[in-house]
Amino acid sequence: MKVLKLALLGIGVASLSACSQLHHVQLSDIDQTQGELTPISIKVNELGFDAAGTARIGSKVATSERASENMEIVATVLALMNMGPTTGNPVYNDAYADQIMQQVDAQCPTHNLTGLTSVRESTNFGTISGEVVRVDGFCIK
């Protein structure tokens, strides 16, 4: 029962301490000479998970010294497997941003776009995150 209360307290604190992080922004020029502009906005997201961070938390709350050492080894191995530049936590579906082109087709059937702004960001809730790709711009009719 004590462990359950501790876990619920941890989840409550983690959910109150979320923060957002901007990873990348790219802007383009706006061409108003080709026709009427209609704004479009596309946003796709996926759930991210920091397995190494979760294993480190597990090593801190482990009930025995041996279990704590094992969890720390798992955390180290997971961290070494994911070395290199990253933007946000790993996601379960790597192709989640592929939906953007389908939404561009739906919102701008002419495929004439201008003034595109692409944003890559994440919102972190402890070891879980919301990984977001957003594209805003104008469709030329």
Helix (H) or strand (E) holding 76: helix 65-81
Q: How many angstroms separate the CA atoms of 99 and 95, rounded?
A: 8
Task: Give the burial class of 16: count Cβ atoms within 10 A of its Cβ; 0-12 exposed, 13-18 middle, 19 or more buried.
Answer: exposed
Count Cα neighbours of 82 within 13 Å in the Cβ-side half-sphere. 16
Express each pLDDT in 21-52 by its tens digit: 666 676 667 777 778 888 999 998 888 877 77
Instruction: State which amino acid sits at residue 136.
Output: D
The pair of structure tokens assigned to 95 is: 């192709």
Residues in the chain: 141
Mean pLDDT of the chain: 76
How confident is the model over 94-128, as pLDDT tens digits?
788 888 888 888 998 888 888 888 888 888 777 88
The two tokens of residue 130 are 């919301």
What are the sequence ranges of the domains in the chain? 18-49+89-141, 51-87
